[in-house]
């Protein structure tokens, strides 16, 4: 197996014929597979089925403080749910609002209100700036970028490495520009690179001087307990912000979407008590209470953080062979050919593949034409513009193992094909 | 029993002593009762307990189109839920988005997005007007007014009578002013007066000429099936809007909050297909999917609209004696004394009591001091300003029958006391 970058034009052309033939053969099979999103697979979903038996018509349906979970009331969640998430996130129950559904909805809502009304300590609504700005570590999560694009923030790319965002750049930007209002962070098993922020990065985020008094870190701890190979340690951002005298700087988000049933879970925002008081006053305009029955169902199923961790160990067992299969195939087929690099994460939902520059769109399109839908190339960057056109997010969780190996086989062929095209065009 | 308005000053003073004594006696009892909100009572909540047994770990958890309800996917709701609500509201399933939680959350969200981005057909976001305006039939629902106050709409009071809002006034205003963007309507068993809009009012709303091309009727059909004494007919607003060539004019909202468990229900927005397409594109930024498990639980419990109507007949049986008790006490104690009027509704959650002018705040405050919390006086009007200070919303659903008769007894004493104070002050 030869490294493509060492081949002569003639050898490249010969190889192209072989790979093109392999691709055409694959295309003829008529695959139909969606690997575009980080969706749990069947085996993972089964893990939460017993939760459906937790609440019945015979159950006591009062929270531990006597709140009737069947009725209106309690804007910030039942006490046992607040405690469970507080323990999970390393904050106090007073620093938590438990809502419903998904953290994405809460994040959208938080940006929306900051845009029209500002956050605690804002001199004016964020929309009142000529153009408010948001820092976007890349590659990152497309749905974050959609939110800030919807509200017309200018999004600024911040390069990520294995320790998190480039803090020199972040510090410089936030110190100078009052219109920079926030930064999107997925601090643990980052979407999509799987990086976990280093202690230094967390401390610098907590301590940095910001021109904006109302700057906020949007800390989307979506994969707080979603390890696959190893539970990465992550410094407690709330503690660090408090130590730095910036207790109000961080909004933490999390949910059970990839712990139990996506879309039918419980989601939270955690922040300083002052932030929480401010937010509660705002959300009193939009809700009387969230789904307390579903909170009760979740808390009684898990009981405590250990219960969640046990569940996550089972998720990890299901996911590990899938991640192995993808990475093994890359090592076997792509590594020796010198047609890209990839990141094997310790947890989370994604494997990031970096193609040769200018190949990502082509690879995604080739896969699609052969029946395998990947996350759109560019989705990992604001405005869907990946400057090098080299980043592909692979989500191995949903397909069956058989489907996955077929999909990866096709992916590898597509990477080779696109790389050959680029090499021949040069 | 004498009509207070016919008494001499001396007689009023004599009566005051008697009523004051009765009040003091009541106060000494140390009641503690919350009648501030339209919350279902224990007997009503029990009606939905069997719904908790509908989904178990053994259930088929796919929607009828094969959608796995346990996973991400389907932004507008599972087909059987769309059909159920479409049938309930008299629209097509294509005209429905089923979300989660409460219609209040959807209404807030709809106003929020209209404010920052406009609705289908908007030339500019509603916030881009010098000051956008909203028509508010009064008395009305405080949480509606909170939403438009939060987004700084100028709210214009529109008087309600038993047929709905004053349409002469509505037609005149909307024809002249492009900044008037919407009207809040609770068309059936209106909150709080219990009125159901007449056919003529519905037709005029659908047909009226509006200066704003993007005017919207916010049709909060919260009590669509919530009859107590009689199921009032309500003309189908969607049909009327279509006939009038104004298919995009109406947003219809509804939920199961007072059908099953408040806060843990399913909620919908219904609108023209073009509106729905526009809204779906917007909400794709904030959600991947809503709680499909809870949709499935609701649809399998009710099966169809008849199932919902059977449930509502049981609710009515529980509510009827409560509403009777309040109205009977008013007829007995307050009517002959000439100290106010009230509306006995055919359905919904409230009885509206109109005191003598300038008495409502005092009555609510007297009740509170004696341990019975009513909805704040003024809450039925924008900015909490009831110009005549005479409207009190009474919510008889939540207390037990015993508590309710005590509370009404106290209420009657407070109304008499406040009325005597006003009459003596003149």
Does residue B77 contact residue B289 with C-beta atoms inside 8 Å?
A: no
What is the average pLDDT across A130-150? 97
- To the nearest whole angstrom, how far is the Cα of A34 from the nearest Cα of chain B? 12
Q: How far is CA A114 from the centre of its chain?
A: 22
The pLDDT tens digits of the residues spanning B156-205 come to: 999 999 999 999 999 999 999 999 999 999 999 999 999 999 999 999 99
B359: in domain:
yes
CB pair distance less than 8 Å for A286 and B109: yes
Kindly list the residues from chain B whose CB atom is less than 8 angstroms away from the CB atom of residue A300: none
User: ipTM of the assembly?
Assistant: 0.96
Measure Cα distances from B286 to A103, A144, B69, B75, B290 in Å: 9, 9, 19, 10, 10
Q: Which residues numbered 147-166 in A keep a CB inside 8 Å of some CB on B?
A: 147, 150-151
Is residue A131 packed enough to be buried (19+ CB in 10 Å), middle (13-18) or exposed (0-12)?
A: exposed
pLDDT digits (tens, 9 = 90+) for A182-198: 999 999 999 999 999 99
| A137 and A254 together in one domain | yes
Range of the domain at B192: 61-303
Give A71 to chain B, closest Cα distance, Å.
Answer: 5
> Helix axis angle, B305-329 relative to B79-89, nearest 10°?
50
Interface touch B289/A150, C-beta < 8 Å: no
Give the Å distances, CA to CA, from A189 to A43, A217, A253, B313, B404. 21, 17, 14, 52, 56
B136 with B173, same domain? Answer: yes
CA distances in angstroms from B424 to B37, B178, B249, B358, B389, listed in the order given: 32, 48, 51, 13, 18
Report pLDDT for A37.
86
Token duo for residue B103 = 């219609």
CB contact at 8 A, A344 and A408: no
Is residue B337 located within the same domain as residue B241?
no
| Same domain, yes or no: B298 and B320 | no
Q: Does residue B386 have a pLDDT over 90?
A: yes
Specify whether the CB–CB gap between A230 and A347 falls below 8 A: yes
Comparing B408 with B1, the larger pLDDT belongs to B408
* Partners of residue A395 in chain B, C-beta under 8 Å: none
Note whether B71 contacts A109, CB cutoff 8 Å. Answer: no
Hey, what are A124's tokens? 């004016």
A294 and A325 within one domain: no
The answer for residues whose C-beta is within 8 angstroms of residue A65's C-beta and 6 or more apart is A78, A79
User: What CATH number corresponds to the domain at position B204?
Assistant: 3.40.640.10
Contact B72 A37 (CB under 8 A): yes
Helical ranges in B354-400 per DSSP H: 360-369
Strands of the sheet containing A164-165, edge to edge, are A96-98, A267-270, A250-255, A216-220, A180-185, A133-138, A154-161, A164-165
CA distance B45 to chain A (A): 7
Q: Are residues B277 and B360 in the same domain?
A: no
Distance CA A380, CA A39 (A): 17
- Is the sign of the CA dihedral A385, A391, A392, A397 positive or negative? negative
pLDDT, tens digit, 9 for 90 and up, residues B34-58:
888 889 999 999 999 999 999 999 9
Residue at a domain's end among B258, B286, B303: B303
Q: In this model, does residue B364 exceed pLDDT 90? A: yes
Q: Whose CA is closest to A174, among A131, A208, A127?
A: A208
> Given B278, B303, B328, which residue is the final one in a domain?
B303
Closest chain A residue to the Cα of B108, Cα to Cα: A286
Both tokens assigned to B310: 């059977």
Residues B111-125 pLDDT 10s: 999 999 999 999 999
Do A94 and A27 fall within a single domain? no
**Does the structure show a pLDDT above 90 at B141?**
yes
Residue by residue, DSSP assigns A174-192 as: HHH-TTEEEEEE--SS-TT
Same domain for B175 and B260? yes
Token code pair at residue B166: 């004053």
Q: Are residues B232 and B340 in the same domain?
A: no
* Residue A301 touches chain B, beta carbons under 8 Å: no
Residues A72 and A209 in one domain: yes
A187 shares contact with chain B (CB less than 8 Å): no
Mean pLDDT, to the nearest integer, of B5-14? 96
Please compute the mean of the pLDDT values over residues B147-155 and round it to a whole number. 98
SS3 B9: helix
**Among the listed residues A203, A205, A271, A197, the one whose alpha carbon sits nearest the alpha carbon of residue A234:** A197
Label the pairing between strands A250-255 and A267-270. antiparallel
Would the CB atoms of B287 and A45 count as touching at under 8 Å? no
B400 interface with A at CB cutoff 8 Å: no
* A-B contacts at Cβ under 8 angstroms: 149
Question: Does residue B56 form part of some domain?
Answer: no
Confidence band for A426, pLDDT divided at 50, 70 and 90: confident
Last residue of a domain, one of B282, B303, B324: B303
How much is the pLDDT for B35? 86
Q: Nearest CA to CA, how far is B85 from chain A (Å)? A: 20
Same domain assignment for residues A37 and A70: no
Number of domains in chain B: 2
- Shared domain for B292 and B331, answered yes or no, is no
B54 touches chain A (CB under 8 A): no
Count other Cβ atoms within 10 Å, centred on residue A134: 25
Please name which of A261, A351, A252 lies closest in space to residue A301, comparing C-alpha atoms.
Answer: A261
On whether residue A52 sits in a domain, the answer given is no
Whether the bond between B250 and the residue before it is cis, its omega within 30 degrees of 0, is no
Select from A205, A186, A207, A107 the least CA-distant residue to A148. Answer: A107
């Amino acid at each position: 197996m030869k490294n493509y970058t060492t081949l002569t034009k003639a050898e490249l052309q010969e190889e192209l014929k072989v790979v093109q033939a392999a691709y055409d053969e694959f295309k003829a099979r008529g695959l139909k597979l969606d690997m575009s999103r980080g969706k749990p697979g069947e085996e993972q979903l089964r893990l939460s089925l017993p939760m459906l038996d937790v609440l019945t018509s015979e159950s006591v349906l009062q929270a531990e403080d006597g709140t009737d979970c069947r009725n209106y009331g309690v804007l910030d969640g039942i006490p046992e749910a607040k405690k469970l998430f507080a323990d999970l996130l390393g904050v106090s129950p007073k620093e938590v609002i438990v809502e419903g559904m998904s953290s994405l909805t809460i994040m959208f809502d938080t940006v929306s209100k900051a845009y029209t009304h500002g956050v605690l300590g804002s001199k004016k609504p964020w929309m009142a700036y000529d153009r408010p700005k948001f820092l976007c570590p890349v590659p990152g999560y497309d749905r974050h970028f959609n939110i800030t694009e919807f509200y017309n923030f200018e999004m600024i790319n911040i390069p990520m490495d294995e320790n998190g965002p480039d803090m020199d750049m972040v510090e410089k930007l936030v110190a100078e520009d009052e219109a920079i209002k926030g930064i999107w962070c997925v601090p643990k098993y980052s979407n999509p690179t799987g990086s976990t922020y280093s202690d230094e990065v967390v401390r610098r985020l907590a301590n940095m001087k910001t021109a904006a008094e109302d700057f906020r870190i949007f800390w989307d701890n979506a994969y707080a307990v979603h390890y696959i190979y190893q539970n990465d340690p992550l410094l407690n951002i709330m503690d660090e912000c408090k130590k730095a005298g910036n207790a109000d700087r961080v909004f933490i988000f999390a949910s059970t979407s990839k712990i139990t049933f996506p879309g039918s879970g419980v989601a939270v925002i955690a922040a300083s008590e002052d932030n929480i008081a401010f937010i509660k006053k705002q959300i009193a305009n939009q809700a009387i209470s969230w789904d307390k029955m579903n909170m009760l169902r979740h808390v009684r199923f898990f009981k405590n953080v250990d219960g969640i961790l046990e569940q996550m160990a089972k998720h990890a067992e299901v996911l590990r062979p899938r991640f192995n299969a993808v990475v093994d195939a890359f090592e076997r087929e792509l590594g020796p050919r010198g047609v890209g690099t990839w990141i094997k994460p310790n947890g989370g939902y994604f494997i990031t593949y970096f193609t040769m520059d200018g190949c990502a769109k082509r690879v995604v399109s080739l896969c699609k034409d052969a029946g395998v839908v990947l996350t759109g190339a560019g989705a990992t960057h604001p405005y869907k513009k990946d400057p090098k056109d080299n980043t592909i997010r692979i989500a191995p969780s949903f397909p069956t193992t058989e489907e996955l190996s077929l999909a990866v086989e096709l992916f590898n062929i597509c990477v080779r094909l696109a790389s050959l095209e680029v090499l021949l065009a040069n």
